[in-house]
Structure 1
């Protein structure tokens, strides 16, 4: 049976090690592919929920960060990562950089869910943690970018600009610098700073050109065109609109670019045919709601050309789309009113429930007070009855005492004679007790020497030196504490049970419910080892499992005493 249990323990240990190694290899591979192939990482991390449940807390937290990072890089919804990110936030503390990563993706998830306030709180907390990790550039950059955009949407433009400036300082690639400058130019445009807007957007354009990213180049040129239009520089606006359309990749949607150029041609009184062409082209690519501006422009254009029937048709289509948009907005407002009404009704129901609960509490308190009074009065009556019975018993007892006193006097003479005999017997017993005490002292001294010799034998063993070195290791994080391996634990067990063999045998006979590990722990307590060292002997990094085992040993010993 011993061999079978040992083989079973060894197989379980090997299986656990194999599982941990496979999980670690999976995480390392996902981390190495993250920057270049995030879509492959998503497929790699597509693990079934029942397999995730087998992960340790550490593995589950790390899996959450990898999955959220890959999902975000693939520009997919972070909603499936919500519960996993909560696990990561519970596992990592404020002293770990991983918590800042978890807060970043939790914030981006809340942006997706329109929970702006919660997102800002989590992103700010993440930035606070990142102050202790200056090398975490990517995490800080994404956090700053997300937080700056939230400030900007909330119309806190000055605070957003501070974030964007800080973001630009942490940019290392041309793409990152382009994104930061693009955001800064939006602030300058919003605050009517013409020169700063144009200069910043042109710097962004240079970085886009250095990357040779046609989509970014077209986006920057379109922004320049819109900026010049806002500042009434229509010729420059037309020039950059044309350049943006040329730079736009063939496979991208060009509806905005066509409409911008066509509208500018109308504003500058340029070629009407070209304007009509570009606006019609934009109709092909824009969504249903985006077409109403094109229809209005085409209506005005046909009206200038005298084509009133076509102009009227465009105007009717424009009105239909506008009515649809207004209806949608009204529907949304109606839904908001219904939701607000439902919320008020829920609040009212909760208030009524609260009043009912208060009434129930008052009635319950009154009934309780009444019952307490009844109980108290009952106790007073019972004490009075007990006092009456006591007086009767006292009188009867005094009568008995007087009769017994005579008997006592007669017995005292007999007792005197017996005491003489008893004193002689006590002297003899005292001598025997002294002899027993002396022998017990000798046995105790021998037992003490025996324990010291056992402890000395144990301190001379190699396994004791190993335990002593592990006990004195200096590790800040408990997660990194080294403990005895399985072979070393077996060696320790053999050594202890050999040295303390008779003590172990006595324990087995006296407490048959104890298992081998219980006996090993009781033997280790006889040594000079502290609780932390004993925990290391059993492969634990702290004393909590040892304390639990001690409690179980105590319960088993008590159960054995009860049965006996």
Structure 2
């Protein structure tokens, strides 16, 4: 009897300790939440004090997932490579009634999807966050959301929509009292108007941003001066453009951005024929850590040497630029494959651990049941039939034999599970080898298919090739390239709609972000013809008058 009382007290004591541990975890998470916005490094140290985060569940588990994502992002650690952590918070908060945390969860999910290149899904996540936060006073977060939506729209060539998003971000930053956010918003609106070739509006917003700046050198000041330089360059006021670019370089504190300003300065020098100064600027950027900047520098040197009729040097620079871009493409593909492999291995390890844990729990419960059953049965038999010793001995022997049979069956089951696990591991290994072979084959196909298409597209952009002079193979190379990159985009358009070859080429170039000016060059026609061609394509794609052709093609 004393033993049973001991077990009861043990269970009660364990429950008390568990409740006490849970309360301390909740207090720690609340403290981290108070520090995360202002002192993210201290918040990270506090969150590391949590001893068993894997034992959290419900709201505490969602809070931990959201706070850890915020902390890693604010401390500039690699937090946005996997969306599995933030999805824990999203799944919990979207139906919890806590609109602020639901909005934050969707905001960080959107940032994660942007890093992974899933732009349409990222836009959906940002819009969900906006819907949750619309009636709250989280003005700074609303400003950030509007800003990120603007980035996505501008990246899809929808500069008019992006301008509206950036203006909305300025409004929210004003409500939040975030002056630096307002200045960045002004810069973003200016860039949007610059893309629209509306220099007057772009200049107005740059000057507004500069008027809001304190009397100190900040990173945003350099970017504002750079925009002014681009405006002056587009208006052929080259001396003023050079002054603005030089001022941007001098006030800059970010090495990467500074090199971009050198590229703009060098290109301006090249426009006015000062090739020596232009070459000096481009050579300054050749050793940049950012491969796109170094590739751009080599490409500009290629154009410069071509202008100087030094064709041998020009070809060398062109090959160097293309090789850098090819390395970037290969590295990106390799990183994607590694990420997929790590995700698969992690999921496999989790499943195996869960299976082992479940097997151990089942065995523990089975043994506990057998022990309790034998103990209870023996206690009842001994008490009730104390005088019938022979019968008791037979009953005990029978029970012991039954126990042996149970144990034998358990051993058989365990042996069977081990053999099944070995078979599963062998099957998984074969599948992994097949995945690797197919991946290598896909890489070869992409490399061979993309080279000709990229060359043809570059020729079209530079005006050295027009649609009328394109061969069937050149046209088909572009279509094959789009099918590879955008999940059979051309094949689906041809299957779902009745379009001509010219309209199919127009849809492909719109998908590749060709501007109206570039389309005029490609089709060798006026802007009215481009407009009419787009209207015919809209009708064949069964779009209404008010529907956006570019948006439909971007998200199709």
- Across the aligned residues of Structure 1 and Structure 2, the Cα RMSD in angstroms comes to 3.5
Task: Quote the residue 2:54 is aligned against.
Answer: 53
Task: Quote the residue 1:185 is aligned against.
Answer: 190
Deviation of the 1:72 alpha carbon: 2.3
Deviation of the 1:273 alpha carbon: 4.7
Q: Secondary structure at the match of 1:254?
A: helix
Deviation of the 1:160 alpha carbon: 2.1
Deviation of the 1:178 alpha carbon: 1.6
Task: Quote the residue 1:142 is aligned against.
Answer: 144
Match of 1:121 among 121, 124, 129: 124
Change (3 A) 1:153 1:55: same
Task: Quote the residue 2:247 is aligned against.
Answer: 243
Alignment of 1:477-496 (within 5 A): none
- Per-residue Cα deviation, 1:123-149 (whole angstroms, up to 9, x for no partner): 21221121232x122322222221221
Distance 2:484 2:260 in 1: 37
- Per-residue Cα deviation, 1:434-461 (whole angstroms, up to 9, x for no partner): xxxxxxxxxxxxxxxxxxxxxxxxxxxx
Alignment of 1:458-497 (within 5 A): none
Q: TM-score, normalised by structure 2?
A: 0.53
Deviation of the 1:32 alpha carbon: 3.1
Change (3 A) 1:338 1:232: closer
- Per-residue Cα deviation, 1:219-239 (whole angstroms, up to 9, x for no partner): 221122112212322222111
Change (3 A) 1:154 1:46: farther
CA contact (8 A) 1:107 1:118 kept: yes
Q: Secondary structure at the match of 1:56?
A: coil
Distance 2:62 2:125 in 1: 17
Q: Secondary structure at the match of 2:286?
A: helix
Task: Quote the residue 2:233 is aligned against.
Answer: 229
Q: Secondary structure at the match of 2:55?
A: coil
Distance 1:327 1:69 in 2: 34
Deviation of the 1:37 alpha carbon: 3.4
Deviation of the 1:79 alpha carbon: 4.1
Deviation of the 1:339 alpha carbon: 8.6
Change (3 A) 1:251 1:289: closer
CA contact (8 A) 1:178 1:204 kept: yes
CA contact (8 A) 1:254 1:282 kept: no
Task: Quote the residue 2:316 is aligned against.
Answer: 317
Change (3 A) 1:333 1:233: farther
4+ aligned runs moved over 6 Å, structure 1: 325-330, 335-339
Matched pairs, number: 334
Alignment of 1:352-371 (within 5 A): none
Task: Quote the residue 1:290 is aligned against.
Answer: 296
Match of 1:206 among 211, 218, 235: 211
Task: Quote the residue 1:175 is aligned against.
Answer: 180
Deviation of the 1:111 alpha carbon: 1.2
Task: Quote the residue 1:541 is aligned against.
Answer: none
CA contact (8 A) 2:295 2:325 kept: no
Deviation of the 1:298 alpha carbon: 4.9
- Per-residue Cα deviation, 1:190-223 (whole angstroms, up to 9, x for no partner): 212111001112222333x417353222222112
CA contact (8 A) 2:160 2:196 kept: no
Q: Secondary structure at the match of 2:157?
A: coil
Task: Quote the residue 2:91 is aligned against.
Answer: 90
CA contact (8 A) 1:164 1:180 kept: yes
Q: Structure 1: any 5+ residue segments left out of the alignment?
A: 348-564
Alignment of 1:59-74 (within 5 A): 59-74=60-75
CA contact (8 A) 2:190 2:227 kept: no
Deviation of the 1:22 alpha carbon: 2.7
Distance 1:326 1:128 in 2: 39
Deviation of the 1:300 alpha carbon: 5.5
CA contact (8 A) 1:64 1:81 kept: no
The question of 1:112 aligning with 2:112 is answered no
- Name the stretch that deviates more: 181-190 or 253-262: 253-262
Distance 2:326 2:281 in 1: 29
CA contact (8 A) 1:141 1:170 kept: yes
Distance 2:186 2:207 in 1: 9
Change (3 A) 1:39 1:223: farther
CA contact (8 A) 1:295 1:317 kept: no
Change (3 A) 1:333 1:327: farther
Change (3 A) 1:323 1:279: closer
Alignment of 1:396-435 (within 5 A): none
Larger radius of gyration: 1
Distance 1:22 1:315 in 2: 67
Distance 2:301 2:484 in 1: 36
Task: Quote the residue 2:167 is aligned against.
Answer: 165
Deviation of the 1:61 alpha carbon: 0.4
Deviation of the 1:183 alpha carbon: 1.3
Deviation of the 1:245 alpha carbon: 1.5
Match of 1:32 among 34, 37, 47: 34
Distance 2:201 2:257 in 1: 29
Deviation of the 1:276 alpha carbon: 3.9
Task: Quote the residue 1:130 is aligned against.
Answer: 133
Distance 1:155 1:340 in 2: 21
Deviation of the 1:30 alpha carbon: 2.2
Match of 1:331 among 427, 443, 447: 447
Task: Quote the residue 2:24 is aligned against.
Answer: 22
Distance 2:239 2:98 in 1: 54
Alignment of 1:502-521 (within 5 A): none
- Name the stretch that deviates more: 65-74 or 81-90: 81-90
Change (3 A) 1:151 1:276: closer
Deviation of the 1:281 alpha carbon: 2.1
Deviation of the 1:312 alpha carbon: 4.7
Larger RCO (CA within 8 A; separation ≥ 6): 2
Q: Secondary structure at the match of 1:29?
A: helix
Q: TM-score, normalised by structure 1?
A: 0.52
Distance 1:340 1:105 in 2: 29
Change (3 A) 1:40 1:298: farther
CA contact (8 A) 1:205 1:220 kept: yes
Task: Quote the residue 1:379 is aligned against.
Answer: none
